[in-house]
A and B are shown apart, each in its own frame.
Chain A
Amino acid sequence: MERLFRFIFEYRAFFTFLFLEILCAWMIIENNQYQSTTYFNSSNKVAASILNFSQGVSEYVSLRTINRELSAENALLRTELERKAATPPITAGESIDSSAVSRYEYVSAKVVSNSTEFYKNYITIDKGRLDGIMPGMAAIGTEGAVGKVKSVSDHFAVLISLLNTSDMVSSMITRTGHFGTAQWDGRNPRLINLRYIPRHALPVVGDTVVTSGYNAVFPQGVRVGVIKRCTLSEEAIFWDIELELAEDFGKLSFLEIIKSNLKHEQDSIQNITIGNNR
């Protein structure tokens, strides 16, 4: 026993090294899991407050752009509202579709920290558990899809950005109706790849791609991007498609978290029928 201790003591540097690296490796693996509940990330209160201060400074500089974007969105929503009001009310005998009634709720949040340069980018926002944010919820910006919630603390939350090589979003080409998966390749923060669009589909440059609503995270029809380049090589089964992202992640400052009221219902019925293998 004494020999063992002496041995460990002799090589204490190496054993410390081994111990710390295994600890780090474990943390890295744990963090790569979608929906992990880590406390030590930027949703941590102290860290988030410091980042919030930093963001506040840079936000002040870009206030003009933010204002313009928000007012433009306001105008758009007002037009939409007018149009809704103009349509005749539902007549007697016609029942309201139960799935359409308050299926989604929106919570507005401010971006505290964001990056676009890594392979795995995360976004920190200033809304958390106490505002009803839960892991797995979707986030959309003024222009389109942004990401999904990974972990939450009381007042802050960390999102997996669409600009994260391990994030996949089920998407659809609106014109042809074909489904694929949007996934970032880690290079250009303005472009994202659309995979698994079958050979027989005929996408063209300029087609709009939206979320498909198959996975219950995003509602159907949230803009992902516009096709910028599509090629089909000789033997390929799928198209090689590149989208120009709708949302400019470099300028992201406000976003909305979508609470899906029927997510549990959709998930559980899917699990019952097709098993828990997603």
Chain B
Amino acid sequence: MRTGLLYFILFFVYVLVQVLLLKNIVLFNVAFCFLYIAFILLLPVEISAVMMMLIGFTIGFTIDIFYSSMGLHAFASVITAFLRNYWLKLITPQGGYDVGATPTLSEYGAGWFLVYFIPLVFIHLTVLFFIEASGFSMAGYTLLKIISSVMFTALIIFLLQSMIPKRR
């Protein structure tokens, strides 16, 4: 119950940071930072796929309201949330996950964490930008946006994660 409340508060923190701060920070007109993806990725491992998708939909939809982009972030978030659990299963570290574990840098190390979150961020942003471009007519420029945004977003998530001290 306590963790539930914690994530409830975290939800609003992520949304507010995204729409008040990061919405205004776009580097070179192409590099976006969608930090809210981290909220989906850092949820406890044991959460079921259905619950993951509902949470993903909720945060995506909330972000959409602020970006006036109905359904766009929600669509990408549901995909990310859906794939997350399969991906977690595929890259299970030796000894498996502990009960109540979260897939974070402090618990499983930098190497594992990079393998875990970069592909998911990449998929999320690829889906997002190609739908936003409504097609492949601007593929080159869209790809530039995707790659620079993945780098920017991943860098911020990684920095924030490495600031959290090791628990054990």
Contacts and interface: CB of A to CB of B under 8 A. Distances in A.
Interface string B42-56: 000000111001100
B89 to A, nearest CB: 12
Contact of A51 (B49, B64, B66, B72): B66
Closest 7 CB pairs of A and B: A27-B71, A31-B70, A24-B75, A13-B49, A122-B68, A28-B71, A24-B71
Interface of A: 12-13, 16-17, 20-21, 23-28, 30-32, 38, 40-42, 44, 47, 50-51, 53-54, 58, 113, 115-120, 122, 124, 158, 165-166, 185-189
B132 to A, nearest CB: 5
Contacts of A28: 70-72, 75, 131
A42 B67 CA distance: 7
A217 B20 CA distance: 32
B74 A158 contact: no
B78 interface: yes
Nearest to A42: B68
Secondary structure dominating the interface of B: helix
A40 B49 contact: no
Contact of A117 (B29, B82, B138): B29
A52 B79 CA distance: 31
Contacts of B82: 13, 17
B50 A42 contact: no
7 contacts: A17-B53, A26-B71, A38-B70, A47-B66, A58-B24, A115-B23, A117-B26
A207 B26 CA distance: 32
Nearest to B129: A119
A111 to B, nearest CB: 13
Contacts of A51: 19, 66
Nearest to A38: B70
Contacts of A120: 69, 132
Contacts of A185: 138
Contact of B78 (A17, A40, A44): A17
